[in-house]
Chains A and B, each alone.
Chain A
């Protein structure tokens, strides 16, 4: 019995070490591959041809200029919302309020339609508006957490809904487009980013996104402020011992995250869509915040990793549209399924550690394996 137990825990430790000992980047790649394989399995079960589908998807998303441009256009806002999640996670908090901060950023960006400014300046004003609005929306949960100890998971979800309904009101009452009842005024052409590649959704805003990711990287790893954020996220008591004010770093991380989310809305609204307005149920902005969390996870909460993982998810989405046009047309929902599996796979190393039940079962597993091998030997 004890011998079996020992072997079981050795086996588990081995699996665990293999899973966690990988380089983080490799782990992400492994999760992506597992996700794609599992997606293929499901396609196969339902009678689709996974090889044709994936070929269409990957070739469409990553091989030509237009495919890459579309992938990049979808990736751009995801980078920013992923940063929202990652910055807060680095500071030790679980901020899932990007969704609401995106909505508020979007409303602010659209409000520049009320005044006339020269192009260029108009861009800047719209971007600043969006960032400030996103940042302000993040202050609410931050203050609740720092003064009253309200869990940020709860408060950010609440703030998401507040933003949702507030936006419905504002779209219907303040920003209303007189010619179309379910959408806002349009962002004037003087505040629209021009296309980087004609015929695609990719605009010059992509440079702002990459620039912002690099700035976040430098702030976190090369400044004293970022050092304090990371220190207090990893070990708040040691940070306090080191003279760091944890509340200040938490507040900073929240606001910086909000700014990033607000910017994500501006990047979408000031570029990709043809109407440049927000709809009552904000179709273009929906799920940007939540998808960002998946991107952040696969990107290992590192700004540079996030750039790559956003491009991967962007490619999945852009190529996924083509998948339904292939000779073996697969529903586009398959893309979200693959994304879900990837997120699950990413958390497997943690699962191995968390559940002691796994250990108990593995005792039985080892016994069973022994029985099998010994009976084989007899034969």
Chain B
């Protein structure tokens, strides 16, 4: 399979997908019945929300993931590779969102490492020469002799791209390449991609930023819930139509998509007007936080949440939502701004002190943060409340009797199905694990609930159960901050919605004032004025 197609063979198409479908082991349909051709000399934008199947589709196109049905072929026949290295030899290179670089190696060493015989004596010298040639050609400059971990994220990405380019690829796939780049770096990258296209390469750009897609691509493919909903020439599309395609107007697929629709949920009807004259539960003023790589992740955000309301934050993941939640729950120290709960400052305090003020936190990563998987149900049920008087006796002795009783109550009340309090948390299904976390947090009788991606990865029943619980908590006067990548969920549950893009709120308004089209535009970073 290491033979490459000749240029006359790929005149018609370079890659062809015929009715490919991918169903994962757990029954998730990631991609459904997609057919498309990829030609040489074009830049294709692959657009879609989180979980729309973009990454799965590109993996199948690059021959690394076999489709459940249908076939991916080149003019030489069906393609199937067992490693990225084989795919590279064929001419397909992919730059992932997460870099695969050895931090202590230099750029040249990292690139040499990706070649067939990385430790051959002349490999490093050859690679260097080739890299210098390529850098002059492409304008993508990186210092070659500095350990990669010392480079800025943008430079690291350039190393990844150069790594693929040294292998003379015919098709370059970039997964969200701009999410870690500064605007200037984005411009540079795009100029270079244009150059590659003119040389006759195929480029697939995975993104959810509308503006970018418009500025560079020739053709745009839109995926929604794994289905191909649009394959249009960029020149014939507008940001509005793209947004509409990406988000969908109404939910047609009841069963496999998110099952929410406004009609099904009683929330809209019973909404009580919130008395804005009273003091808010959570008050946030000009909060600014840095992300893990030192970029400004939350940028001057202000909002208030009152008791009895759900404040939803929608937006494409990675636009500062996680950092915002972490800043409010004591897991991250913001660099500027204020935040108070019922008038008490919470910034710079550790999680235990913040919990004491009546905060419940349903974290987005239930395996990394929410649970200690090897621990039992009982041990997990007291995480964060293990210092409470009702569970801790004199000499810091834990009252296992009471704890087990508490767990049984939780299991009853929140329908957690498990063999008993001493079952390890890892033996529970995802839905039951999440119910355990939600139960533990709601049992704190909190004033405010911070729920981050509370239904991610859950089956429909469990997801609905947790959504109903959140609404129930709102109806008894709790304040709720809901952060979710699931747009339908945020729109259906929230009393007010904020759309977050690059660390800022694009808008804050009741969900009725938002059309899906407008949400799509705002999530893609297109401001109101630009639309009007």
Interface residues of A, Cβ cutoff 8 Å to B:
222-225, 227-228, 230-231, 234-235, 237-245
Contact = CB atoms under 8 A, between A and B. Distances in A.
Contact of B361 (A222, A227, A235, A241): A241
A243 B396 contact: no
B375 A234 contact: yes
Given A234-B372, A240-B331, A225 B350 contact: no
A228 B396 CA distance: 11
Interface residues of B, number: 29
Interface in B345-391: 350-352, 355, 361, 363, 368-375, 379, 382-384, 386-387, 391
B479 to A, nearest CB: 20
A193 B375 CA distance: 41
Nearest first, the 3 closest Cβ-Cβ pairs linking A and B are A243-B352, A242-B383, A242-B384
B386 A228 contact: yes
B103 to A, nearest CB: 16
A238 B370 CA distance: 6
B350 A238 contact: no
Specify the main secondary structure of chain A where it touches its partner: helix
B386 A227 contact: yes
In the complex, which of the residues A223, A225, A235, A241 has the most CB atoms of chain B within 10 Å of its own CB atom?
A241
Contacts of A235: 368, 372-373
A238 B368 contact: yes
A243 B350 contact: yes
A231 B373 CA distance: 10
A238 B369 contact: yes
A223 B397 contact: yes
B464 interface: no
Given A222-B400, A231-B383, A241-B369, 13 more contacts: A222-B398, A223-B397, A223-B398, A224-B387, A228-B386, A235-B373, A237-B369, A239-B372, A241-B329, A241-B363, A242-B384, A243-B351, A243-B355
A237 B373 CA distance: 12
Contacts of B363: 241
A241 B396 contact: no
A241 to B, nearest CB: 5
Given A227-B386, A231-B372, A234-B372, A240 B398 contact: no
B395 interface: yes
A31 B360 CA distance: 46
B408 interface: no
Nearest to B80: A2
Interface string B391-405: 110011110100000
Contacts of A225: 396
A151 to B, nearest CB: 15
Nearest to A5: B82
A243 B387 contact: yes
19 contacts: A222-B397, A223-B397, A224-B387, A230-B375, A234-B372, A234-B374, A235-B368, A235-B372, A238-B369, A238-B370, A238-B371, A238-B383, A240-B331, A241-B329, A241-B351, A243-B350, A243-B384, A243-B387, A245-B350
A235 B384 CA distance: 13
Nearest to B387: A224
B372 A238 contact: yes
A206 to B, nearest CB: 26
B323 to A, nearest CB: 15
Contacts of A224: 386-387, 391-392, 396-398
A44 B3 CA distance: 57
Given A222-B400, A224-B386, A231-B383, A237 B368 contact: yes
A204 B174 CA distance: 71
Nearest to A243: B352
B446 to A, nearest CB: 14
B384 A241 contact: yes
A240 B333 CA distance: 13
Interface in B73-99: none
Given A224-B387, A234-B375, A241 B331 contact: yes
B216 to A, nearest CB: 38
A351 B188 CA distance: 47
Nearest to A1: B82
Interface string B125-161: 0000000000000000000000000000000000000
Nearest to B395: A223
A224 to B, nearest CB: 5
Contacts of A228: 386
